[in-house]
Every structure is written in C-alpha cells, then in structure tokens.
Structure 1
Amino acid sequence: MPAIAQLGIWGRKYLPVTKESAAAASALEKGGPELLKTMKAELRRQHVGKQTTE
C-alpha cells in the first residue's frame, strides 16, 4: 500500500488527474505514515474481519 500511495502522490504532481483523485493523493501526502497505518487497519477490518497490530 505505501508504494501505491507514492504512485498516486507522484501522479498528482506530474500527470493530468481528476479533482477526486488529486484530493485523495493530497490527503495521503499530508497524512503520511499515520494515515497509511489507519487505512491499512480499516481495509483489514473490512476484508479480513479482524484487527492486527503492526
């Protein structure tokens, strides 16, 4: 997931993007590692059904 976030951040800067995708990439950039940690935990909860610590 960190690599995907970095691709989105890079794309926002160097490629034509929609307002929605630019906003998501901007939020990831501003939120940093803490936001990624929160997002990964939420994805685990939704798709695996349990919390894990990392």
Structure 2
Amino acid sequence: MHLQGVSTRRVTALREKLCGMEVSSCEVSRLTAELDTEFQLWRNRALPEIAHIFFDAS
C-alpha cells in the first residue's frame, strides 16, 4: 500500500520520528483506509444551492 507514493513502512518510520510513537504498517493501512472512506463521503456530499450575483461596473 502507498500513501501519495510513500509506502506504509516509510509512513511508519516517519511517524515514529515526528511523533515519537511506534505504529505498525498494518495500523497505517487501516487508518489510511478509514481516512479515505471519510474523504470520499465528504467529497461526494450534497452541496446546498448558492445564489450567484454578478456585478458589472462597465
């Protein structure tokens, strides 16, 4: 599995360096899948109608 071209093992190592917390590559994969699901729901949500008003100063 890759996250933006970075393997889960690299993400694991990076998180350990940045946060000082140990996390397994399986946990990174699980979290990535969870975040992807949430992102897709947000991305495909219904947007409210918005009225557009255009002003022309010419």
TM-score category by the smaller chain?
A: 0.3 to 0.5
Question: Structure 1 length as normaliser, TM-score?
Answer: 0.37
Kindly indicate whether structure 1 or structure 2 has the higher relative contact order, using CA contacts under 8 Å at least 6 residues apart: 1
Question: Structure 2 length as normaliser, TM-score?
Answer: 0.36
